[in-house]
Amino acid sequence: MKKFNITGLCIPEKHYMVDTSKKVQKVILLIDEGMYFTINRPRQYGKTTTLYMLERALKDRYLLISTSFEGLGEEAFENVSKLSGELLNQMVKSLKVEQEDKMVSFIRQYKRPESLSELSNFMTDFVNESKQKVLLMIDEVDKASNHTLFLNFLGMLRNKYLQREAGKDQTFHSVILAGVHDVKNIKKKIRPDSESHYNSPWNIATEFKVDLSFSAEEIETMLEDYVSALRQAQHTALRQAQHTATQTNRFDISSISKEIYKFTSGYPFLVSKICKVIDEDLDKDWSMEGIQKAIDNILKERNTLFDDLIKNVDNNKELYDLLYSILIDSIPIQYNTANPIIDLSNIYGITAEGEYGRLKISNKIFEIYLYNYLISKLETQNLSITHYGFRDNFINNSGDLEIEKILLKFQEFIKETYSDKDTQFYERNGRLLLIAFVKPIINGSGFYYIEPQSSYERRMDMVITFNKKEYILEFKLWYGTEYHEKSLKQLAGYLDSRNHGVGYLVTFNFNKNKEFTNGWRDVDSKKIFEVFV
C-alpha cells in the first residue's frame, strides 16, 4: 500500500504523489536546448524528487550522470585530485546503476586528474567516448558552499560551455545544479567583502522559472490517486480497507485540496505532511476540521523544516526585524530582491511576493509558527498573561467561545499593566499580546490564523475556529475618528464576505488621555463589539 512521504525521495510506485509531469516537461525543454541551470529552492521543496523524475523520463535519451555532494567531507575540497576522485567515483556509481559498462571501464582506466585542466580534458574525452549526449546533475551543491575550489570547478565548466558554443571543445550537453542557494549566493558567502558577486562563474546559466510548488489542482491529483487506491482496496474485501474507502468516498477532493493549498501555498513538504497526518494519525478525517487538527499537530512537533526556520530567524537580526514588521506591525513592504535581506528571506522560503507587489510570509503555516514563536519570546518577559486567561471563564454551556468576555478581560489586563511598561513597548507588542492572550484559551480545542492587511491603517484580522464555529476578530491602531469609522465599515464588509453577522474589533490607542471604553455597534446590518485599549 502506498503512503504519503515526507522524507527524502518520493517514488511513484511507493508514495502518493502530485502529478508533476507538466513541470518535468518544462525542465526537459531546458535540457533539450542544452541549457545549464540551477534548481535553487528552499529545503524540502522537492528538488531531489524532481531530479529523480527527470532521470526516469530521460534515461533512454541521455547518458545520465546523477551525483550529489551530500556526505562529502571537507577533505573532498582540499585539492583538485581529491575532488576529481570523488567525482569519478560518483560517476561510476551512477553509471553502474544504468549498466553502462563501457563508460564505467573508461573512467576506471583513466588516470585521475590532478589539475583543473586535466579534469577538463577528462570531461572532453568522456563526452567524445559516449554515444549519447551527456547530462550531469549534481544535488546538494550547498555542501560545497564554503569552498573556493568549487567555484573554480564551476568556472571550468563555464569555460568549456563557452568553448563548446564556439565549436572549440566538447562537454556536457546540459548541467543541472540543485540546492537551496543559487551559485551567486554561494559566491557571496565565500567572498562577502569583494566584488565576487559580479562576473559569476555560473553566469552562463539560464534562469530556472519552473514553479515547484503545488497548485490546488495539482494537490487534487495526489488525493485522487489516494482515493483510487483505497477504492481498489475496497474490492479486496478487507474489512478495514472497505470501511476506509467508504469514508473517503464522502470527502470533496476539490474543496479539501483548496483548503490544504490555503494554508501551505503549495509548499511540497507541508502539503504531504498534512495528508500524512490526516491519513495515519487522525483516522482519515478528511474534513476542514481535520485539516486544522493536522496543522495544529504539525505546529507542535519538532522537524528540520521548522528548526531551520527558527535558526535562520534567530541568527539574523535584520531578518527577524523584517518578519516582525510584516507579522506584527503590518507594515507594507515592497517585494524587491535587490534588498539582500528580502532576497535571503525568499531563498529560505520564508517570504514571497504577495498582492500589489508587497512582501508576505510565504504560507499560513509558517505564519502561525512564527506567531507562536514570537509569543513564546514575549512570555519569557515575565508578563502575567496566563493569570487572566482561565479557559473555562470564556466558554459557555454550549461549548462556544464568549469573545466579548475575552476582550473585556484583555482590556482589564492592559489597563492594569499599562503603567508597568513604557508606551513604546505596547506600541510594538500590543497586538502580539492580544494573540498571546487568546491562544491559551483556544489551545487544544480551537485553531487560529492571522490575516495581515497591509495598508495605512495596519489592520490585522484574527480568524478563530472553535467548536465548529468561526469568529472574526480585527485589531488596528487608532488614527482618529474618521479612519476608525472607515475601519468599522471595512470590518463589516469582511464579515459579509465570510457570511458572518457578528464581529469584534480591538483598537489600540496610545494617546496619553485615552479612555478604556467598549460597546456594541451596528454597522451596515452587522453587529460589532469593539474595545479600546
For 43-64, what is each residue's pLDDT tens digit? 999 999 999 999 999 999 999 9
In 392-468, beta strands by DSSP E: 446-453, 459-466
DSSP line for 76-98: GGSSHHHHHHHHHHHHHHHHHHT
pTM of the model: 0.91
Rounded CA gap, 501 and 495, in Å? 7
pLDDT at 196: 44
Query: 418 with 483: CB under 8 angstroms?
Result: no
The overall average pLDDT reported for the chain is: 89
Query: 276 with 6: CB under 8 angstroms?
Result: yes
Query: 197 versus 19: which is more confidently predicted?
Result: 19
Rounded CA gap, 3 and 275, in Å? 10
pLDDT at 65: 96
For 105-123, what is each residue's pLDDT tens digit? 999 999 999 999 999 999 9
The three cell numbers locating residue 143: 555542501
pLDDT band for position 197 (50/70/90)? very low
**How many percent of the chain have pLDDT more than 90?**
71
Burial of 482 from C-beta contacts in 10 A (0-12 / 13-18 / 19+)? exposed
For residue 247, is pLDDT > 60?
no
For 179-189, what is each residue's pLDDT tens digit? 998 776 555 55
pLDDT at 280: 97
